Amino acid sequence: MGIAPKNPKDEQEPAASAAVAPPIDGAKPTPKKEKADRGKDEEKEGGSRGKGKKGPLAPTAKAGAPVSTNPNFRYIIRVANTDLDGRRRTALALTGVSGVGLRIAEATCQLAGVDPHGLIGDLPESTVEQIEATLLDLPKKLPAWMTNEPRDYSGGDTFHRIGPDLETAERDAINQMKMIRSYRGVRHERGQKVRGQRTRSNGRTGMAAGVLKKAAKEAAQAKAKEEGGAPAAPKPAPAKKEAA
């Protein structure tokens, strides 16, 4: 039975040297240090290789917003008195207009014959005007249930309000409810919930009753101290007369 070496590294060194493959066709094996240095240089040049991928180096940074090669590209598009980002897709950019959701935007692009996935900054001015005209003419081209005002109270017509017109119509409707003193109008005036929500825990307005009671009690005690005496004790109740 042999004696174990003092240092366990002495056993690992011969095994590591035996694992090195012999040179092929007179080529010299690449030292480990050179391989490590080469890997560091590759990371500096363009990032690290993807897992399981054989090919060019994968980019480390995420791809940003799409860039257009159109020389007439515009970064700001004006639609319905609203500035839209020209670097966004047409359907997504139209959702920046008040009263226009994703479904309405996609329907508008389809009616105007515009690609909803293309950049809105690449569209010429005539196409943008056509999109705006389509938005204003939506009640005639879409079913009433897709609009945000299927039936007007005054005339019974169908409208789809967008941009500043939506805010104006909403404000006028609230003022009308306040003027006729309807339940919703009174709730709007008081700043409370309008659609029947509970207000026991959420939506409370004003100061809590317990706080008011505590403040009144402290004020009464302070007033009694200023007068120089303790607060007067309550008078005892009169005794009941005994029956004869």
For range 19-35, the mean pLDDT: 55
pLDDT in tens, 88-146: 999 999 999 999 999 999 999 999 999 999 999 999 999 999 999 999 999 999 999 99
Task: Give the domain range for residue 100.
Answer: 76-142
Tokens 């060019």 correspond to 56
167 band by pLDDT with thresholds 50, 70 and 90:
very high
**Averaged pLDDT score across all residues of the chain:** 79
- Does some domain include residue 63? no
Report which DSSP code applies to 49.
P
What percentage of the chain exceeds 70 in pLDDT? 64
Extract the tokens encoding 145: 């249930």
In a domain, 28, yes or no: no
pLDDT of residue 227 exceeding 50: yes
In a domain, 71, yes or no: no
CATH of the domain at 117: 1.10.8.50
Q: Which of 206, 171, 148, 164 is nearest to 179 (CA)?
A: 171
pLDDT of residue 93: 95
Model pLDDT for residues 176-198, shown as the tens digit of each residue: 999 999 999 999 999 999 999 99
Burial (0-12, 13-18, 19+ Cβ within 10 Å), 64:
exposed
- The pLDDT value recorded for residue 207 is 66
Residue 102 domain-assigned (yes or no): yes
The total number of structural domains in the chain stands at 1
Question: Does any domain span residue 228?
Answer: no
Q: How confident is the model at residue 60 (pLDDT cuts 50, 70, 90)?
A: very low
Quote the pLDDT of residue 236. 64
Q: Which of 32-46, 165-179, 204-218 has the lowest mean pLDDT?
A: 32-46
Per-residue pLDDT at 52 exceeds 60: no
94 within a domain of the structure (yes/no):
yes
Give the CA dihedral 219, 220, 222, 228, nearest 10 degrees.
Answer: 160
Least confident of 115-119, 159-163, 228-232: 228-232
In a domain, 131, yes or no: yes
- Look at residue 215 in the predicted model and tell me its pLDDT: 83
Which segment of 51-65, 120-134, 158-172, 223-237 scores lowest on mean pLDDT?
51-65
Instruction: Summarize the confidence of residues 203-220 as an average pLDDT.
Output: 78
Where helices occur in 58-206 by DSSP H, the ranges are 90-94, 102-112, 125-136, 138-141, 164-179, 183-190
Q: Which residue has the higher pLDDT, 29 or 72?
A: 72
Whether 93 is in a domain gets the answer: yes
For 89, the 3-state DSSP assignment is: strand
